[in-house]
Amino acid sequence: MCETLCEALGRNPDPAQALAAIEGARQALLGPGLLTVNLVATEPGDAPGEIHLQRGWSSDPAAYPVGGRKRKLLTPWTEQLLVRGEVFIGEGEGALASVFDDHARIAALGLQAVINVPLIEGGRCRATFNALGMRPWWTREDIAVVRLLALLAAPFALRLRPAP
């Protein structure tokens, strides 16, 4: 699996192809789930205290279409992930409900845990790599796998741009 992923990424594919290959590796290593990349789409004229996100890639475009937008207020989750650029780990329905407005849709897909990894460029979070799983918790090894996959995804994900 690692060799296949390295070969796929070594061909310098377009971002969608690269992220699809990374999603294949995520599934092989962690089982069923969802992978999305959200781009920070906040503009200078947006209201203070708001962060705008736009989905740049999704492993399930029927449930989470590319181009979908979210407006987030400053919360402990947005401060941790988007402002300070720190990984967020949410485990169980309560954790997901506390940070995601669409937690009912997430639960309906059978997803119970998330790892959000900030993708940093120029010292700022420019995107997030979001792995959701059907298990209610993550092992240390699972978290390390997701963080490594996010590192592999970063150069491709950061080539995506929010639509106007």
pLDDT value for 121: 96
pLDDT reading at 35 higher than 80: yes
What does DSSP say about strands 88-91 and 113-121: parallel, antiparallel, or unpaired? antiparallel
pLDDT value for 48: 86
In a domain, 11, yes or no: yes
pLDDT value for 141: 98
The torsion of the CA quartet 143, 144, 147, 149, rounded to 10 degrees, works out to: -110
Its domain, for residue 127, covers 2-157
What confidence tens digit (pLDDT) does each residue in 50-100 have? Answer: 999 999 999 999 999 999 999 999 999 999 999 999 999 999 999 999 999
In a domain, 135, yes or no: yes
Longest dimension (CA), the chain: 46
Mean predicted confidence (pLDDT) in 117-143: 97
The span from the CA of 75 to the CA of 95, in Å, is 14
Report the mean per-residue pLDDT for the chain: 94
CATH number of the domain encompassing residue 101: 3.30.450.40
pLDDT reading at 1 higher than 80: no
In a domain, 163, yes or no: no
In a domain, 123, yes or no: yes
pLDDT value for 13: 82
pTM for this model (two decimals): 0.94
In a domain, 106, yes or no: yes
In a domain, 162, yes or no: no
The structural domain count of the chain equals 1
- Per the DSSP assignment, residues forming a β-bridge with 119 are 127
% of the chain with per-residue pLDDT over 90: 84
CA 147 to chain CA centroid, nearest Å: 11
In a domain, 112, yes or no: yes
In a domain, 164, yes or no: no
